[in-house]
Amino acid sequence: MNLIALQLPIGIFLAAIIALATFFTGSLSRSGATGAFLLGSIIFGIGGFGWSILLLAFFISSTLLSRLSNGKKREIEANFSKGTRRDGFQVTANGAVAGVCVLLFPLLGGPAWLWAGFAGALAAANADTWATEIGILGKTKPRMITNCKPVEPGTSGGVSLSGFLAAFGGSLFIAFLAVVFKPDQVQNNLENNIILSLIVTVAGIAGSLVDSILGAGSQAMYFCDICKKETEKHPLHGCGNPTRHIRGLAWLNNDWVNLFCTLTGSITAALLAIFLISSPVSLSGEQGAEMTKLDFSSPVFAYNQPIPAKYSCDGQNISPTFSWTGIPADTRSLALIADDPDAPLGTFTHWVVYNLPASQSSLNEGIPAGILSTGGYQGFNSARQNAYMGPCPPAGRNHHYFFRLYALDLEPTLPEGLTADKLSNLIAGHVLASGEWMGTFQR
């Protein structure tokens, strides 16, 4: 039985409990609770824990802010098409895109860009909701995003500094959780984590801006001739009198605007992730279990034993000596990657060396930055240095440092300036043999 089959009943059960709780507490209408149950069953049951955390973070934070701004919202309630109790259309508009990402993730083999798309959709929804709920509490009047004219709080398309800062905070909140709870299919290293947080934050703000632009120019707006006020409400205003259409597309109500908001956030994040985020790459080559193992070691520290301080940031910060034997006859070049998977923000790359001649059998101590005397290149570590960077962990925890050597069937002509991720992608499927040496370091 696979993981989805095991967690699906649990997900449906949890979704039912949450849907009922939100219905009886007044956060969702009957249709809203039904929509939340269906969406929750998909995300809890198919996505699992990490995906559920992001959805719950959006829903809980948005609900709390809605209650915080309830008093102010009652004063301007006539401007909104719906009240604070969300219905099925609102739940669908804010969560449908995220639900589709969850459904596609296992079907497409778990690409990292779909996780980014999921997070981007919820970041956009969260940014828009936080901007609305906090923006209406501001003391200054918002301005229409298209012409900068002052408008009443709650007017579609109105923006303010407090609203923008709230949108940024709401988007950043989801981005942080997207990094912490990302699935295993997303490479856990420092570069990816920083890029993912930036992507999701930008995508959330982009979705919120699209929401404002559509609200200002394309969303259907109506006018109450009795109250002399513009409103989203139709066919009746809050006073009970009919409203007439004055601008915008008649079919484009606030729910459609919210859907375009989340769709923008999702597409923006997914597209950026396709080009910028790495997924784990296997370097086991085509030979699998039959791959040759290199005799790879260092004379200056034993396997799984402390690395001398001389080779760390507390000492001279110079590279250790390594030697190896057993290179296959078909080898054309060698590469080495050293990293720390225990780093608090994800795997930290300490050393990248490649284009080493197949005839080379060792690396001397204290290799300087840049091109090696033997002709090999040093790629960028996580500190963006084309050099060795020794162990330098936070105090307290014992870290493990893996040095992996690869014998490749590639000529030593790989380009300069590669990171560990880019090098891994280029040599995947070209590894003839590999060896590993691991040391520890604690401060």
283 inside domain: no
Query: How many whole angstroms separate alpha carbon 107 and alpha carbon 278?
Result: 19
Helices 49-68 and 161-180 pack at an angle, to 10 degrees, of 160
Residue the block writes with tokens 């054309």: 332
**Residue 387 and residue 242 share a domain:** no
User: To which H or E segment does residue 63 belong?
Assistant: helix 49-68
- For 244, the token pair is 């007439």
User: To which H or E segment does residue 295 belong?
Assistant: strand 295-297
**Residue 305 and residue 191 share a domain:** no
pLDDT for position 287: 45
User: To which H or E segment does residue 337 belong?
Assistant: strand 333-340
- Number of compact structural domains in the chain: 2
pLDDT for position 79: 54
**Residue 334 and residue 185 share a domain:** no
End position of a domain, from candidates 245, 276, 307: 276
Query: How many whole angstroms separate alpha carbon 75 and alpha carbon 72?
Result: 5
Q: Count CB-CB contacts under 10 A for residue 125.
A: 32
191 inside domain: yes
Residues 301-350: tens digit of each pLDDT: 999 999 999 999 999 999 999 999 999 999 999 999 999 999 888 889 99
Residue the block writes with tokens 């929509």: 35
**Residue 327 and residue 401 share a domain:** yes
Q: Helix or strand or coil: residue 305? A: strand
**Residue 327 and residue 244 share a domain:** no
193-197 long-range contacts, Cβ below 8 Å, gap at least 24? 193/345, 193/346, 194/345, 195/276, 195/277, 196/116, 196/119, 196/273, 196/277, 197/172
**Residue 321 and residue 240 share a domain:** no
- For 49, the token pair is 């824990």
pLDDT for position 2: 55
pLDDT for position 313: 95
Query: How many whole angstroms separate alpha carbon 424 and alpha carbon 418?
Result: 9
**Residue 238 and residue 115 share a domain:** yes
C-beta of residue 204 within 8 angstroms of C-beta of residue 254:
no
End position of a domain, from candidates 276, 299, 334: 276
Residues 205-239: tens digit of each pLDDT: 999 999 999 988 898 888 888 887 888 878 887 77
End position of a domain, from candidates 276, 302, 321: 276
pLDDT for position 182: 92
Residue 172's φ and ψ, nearest 5 degrees, are -65, -35
115 inside domain: yes
Of the candidates 114, 399, 69, the residue with the CA atom closest to the CA atom of residue 274: 114
End-to-end, the C-alpha distance of the chain in Å comes to: 44
Query: How many whole angstroms separate alpha carbon 179 and alpha carbon 191?
Result: 11
**Residue 101 and residue 195 share a domain:** yes
**Residue 99 and residue 242 share a domain:** yes
15 inside domain: yes
pLDDT tens for each residue of the chain, 443 residues long: 456 677 889 889 999 999 999 899 888 899 999 999 999 999 999 999 999 999 999 999 988 888 776 655 555 555 555 556 778 899 999 999 999 999 999 888 788 899 999 999 999 999 999 998 888 887 788 999 988 998 887 788 889 999 999 999 999 999 999 999 998 778 778 888 999 999 999 999 999 999 999 988 898 888 888 887 888 878 887 777 889 988 889 899 989 999 999 999 999 999 999 988 866 665 654 444 456 899 999 999 999 999 999 999 999 999 999 999 999 999 999 999 999 999 888 889 999 999 999 999 999 999 999 899 888 999 999 888 999 999 999 998 999 999 999 999 999 999 999 999 899 989 999 999 999 999 999 99
281 inside domain: no
18 inside domain: yes
- Host domain of residue 164: 3-276
pLDDT for position 74: 59
pLDDT for position 80: 56
pLDDT for position 229: 80
Q: Count CB-CB contacts under 10 A for residue 24.
A: 10
**Residue 101 and residue 208 share a domain:** yes
Parallel, antiparallel or unpaired: strands 292-293 and 431-441: parallel
